[in-house]
């Protein structure tokens, strides 16, 4: 048979049970609060990871474009060198043709036929020179445009790198705040334990 406890012992027991219930409710509230904070932090970390991955992908794309433009610039420079060599060859041919014209003028018997042939050669050489000059000017314009695009890509890459650095800084700040929060919770629990 149970004994019914009356008096101060029962009141102490009721007070102890009330304190235990209060502490358990406080602990549940603290657990819920910490769960909400951690879920928000996890969401922020996931967002940071997604942003970081986007920045990495954009960085890789910009690096690929930069490599491709560098290759195109090298190709354009090679073409420019080839055209310059052709221009030099044509200038040498033009000099030879001019010398031949002088020699042919000295020989009057062949002057009429040779003069016509030399004039045609000069026209071709001049046409080639004009065409090559036009090509060189077009290549210079393309090179200038490619350089501007490369500079634009480099500026975009620098902007994305700066954004990535800011994201890392924000992440580190959040991690520090979370560690501070955990320390505060630990101190609160230790204080509650000391009060017992």
pLDDT digits (tens, 9 = 90+) for 117-142: 888 888 898 898 899 999 989 988 99
In a domain? residue 189: no
Q: Among candidates 190, 181, 189, 142, which has minimal Cα distance to 37?
A: 181
pLDDT digits (tens, 9 = 90+) for 40-97: 999 999 999 999 899 899 989 988 988 998 888 889 889 889 988 988 898 888 888 8
Sign of the torsion angle spanned by Cα atoms 70, 71, 72, 77: positive
Contact 87, 77 (CB under 8 A): no
Global pTM value: 0.31
In a domain? residue 24: no
Half-sphere exposure of residue 67, counting CA atoms within 13 Å on the CB side? 6
Cα-trace Rg, the chain? 43
pLDDT digits (tens, 9 = 90+) for 149-186: 988 988 998 998 899 989 889 999 988 998 998 898 88
In a domain? residue 53: no
Cα 29 → chain centroid: 45
Q: Cβ neighbours of residue 63 under 8 Å, at least 6 residues apart?
A: 157
The whole-number pLDDT of residue 66 equals 86
CA distance 99 to 101: 5
Range(s) of the domain holding residue 165: 58-169
The whole-number pLDDT of residue 36 equals 93
In a domain? residue 106: yes
In a domain? residue 182: no
Give the torsion through C-alpha atoms of 93, 95, 97, 102, to 10 deg: -170
pLDDT-derived band at 1, boundaries 50, 70, 90: very low
The whole-number pLDDT of residue 38 equals 92
Percent of the chain with pLDDT over 70: 88
CA distance 44 to 173: 12
In a domain? residue 149: yes
Domain count along the chain: 1
In a domain? residue 30: no
In a domain? residue 6: no
Contact 194, 103 (CB under 8 A): no
The whole-number pLDDT of residue 83 equals 86
CA distance 2 to 8: 18
Does the pLDDT of residue 108 top 70, yes or no? Answer: no
């Amino acid at each position: 048979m149970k004994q019914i406890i009356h008096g101060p012992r029962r009141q102490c027991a009721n007070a102890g049970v009330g304190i235990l219930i209060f502490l358990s409710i406080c602990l549940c509230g603290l657990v819920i609060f910490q769960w909400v904070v951690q879920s928000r932090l996890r969401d922020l970390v996931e967002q940071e990871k997604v942003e970081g991955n986007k920045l990495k992908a954009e960085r890789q794309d910009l690096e690929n474009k930069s490599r491709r433009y560098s290759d195109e610039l090298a190709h354009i420079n090679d073409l420019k060198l080839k055209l310059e060599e052709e221009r030099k060859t044509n200038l040498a041919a033009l000099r030879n043709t001019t010398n031949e014209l002088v020699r042919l003028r000295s020989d009057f018997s062949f002057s009429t036929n040779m003069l016509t042939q030399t004039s045609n050669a000069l026209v071709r050489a001049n046409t080639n020179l004009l065409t090559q000059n036009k090509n060189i000017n077009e290549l210079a314009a393309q090179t200038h445009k490619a350089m501007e695009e490369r500079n634009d890509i480099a500026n975009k890459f620098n902007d994305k790198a700066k954004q990535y650095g800011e994201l890392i800084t924000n992440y580190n700040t959040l991690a520090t705040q979370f560690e501070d929060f955990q320390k505060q919770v630990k101190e609160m629990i230790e204080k509650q334990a000391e009060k017992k």
